[in-house]
């Protein structure tokens, strides 16, 4: 999508601190980190919210989680633990409408989340 900031990051049109990329997903550090490590894993395909995910796109979400798992290991907190979150729409706290998996690690997480 032309006016989607995450599509532009995936296309390399605007800079981001990339930590991982493959044919399906791109991962980069969040500009406003909420943990010592805060990475966003996005699909290259534009999917606005989880509600728009089509059955034939289920593999994309699997790849997002696999990438997050690999990044958690690279960052050194896989065994200690970490959190993965996808916010959906306003009540879920979504502000960028291109699905993204938050990977948060490097500190103790609280539950329930705010
Ligand atoms: P959400 O509120 O779940 O939609 O999360 C959007 C996230 O994107 C927030 O944590 C923002 O800090 C982050 N963000 C927005 N623009 C950028 C950007 N250009 N590069 C990296 N992170 C961004």
pLDDT at 114 exceeding the cut of 90: no
Does residue 46 carry a catalytic annotation? no
Residues 6+ apart with CB under 8 A from 54: none
3-class secondary-structure state, position 102: strand
Pocket test for ligand 1, best of 9, 26, 40 (most atoms within 8 A of CB): 40
Q: What percent of the chain has pLDDT over 70?
A: 100
Closest CA to 26 of 73, 74, 60, 72: 60
- Tell me which residues have their CB closer than 6 angstroms to ligand 1: 5, 16, 28, 30-32, 40, 87, 93-96
Pairing of strands 18-21, 25-29: antiparallel
Q: Give the model confidence (pLDDT) of 51-94 as tens digits.
A: 999 999 999 999 999 999 999 999 999 999 999 999 999 999 99
Residue with CA nearest ligand 1 atom 20 = 31
φ, ψ at 37 (rounded to 5°): -120, 125
């Amino acid at each position: 999508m032309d006016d989607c900031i995450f599509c532009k990051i995936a296309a390399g049109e605007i800079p981001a601190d990339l930590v991982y990329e493959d044919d399906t997903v791109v991962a980069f550090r969040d500009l406003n980190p909420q943990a010592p490590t805060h990475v966003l894993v996005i699909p290259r395909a534009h999917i606005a919210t989880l509600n728009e995910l089509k059955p034939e796109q289920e593999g994309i979400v699997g790849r997002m989680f696999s990438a997050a798992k690999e990044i958690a290991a690279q960052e050194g907190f896989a065994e200690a633990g970490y959190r993965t979150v996808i916010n959906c729409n306003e009540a879920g706290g979504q502000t960028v409408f291109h699905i993204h998996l938050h990977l948060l690690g490097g500190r103790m997480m609280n539950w329930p989340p705010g």
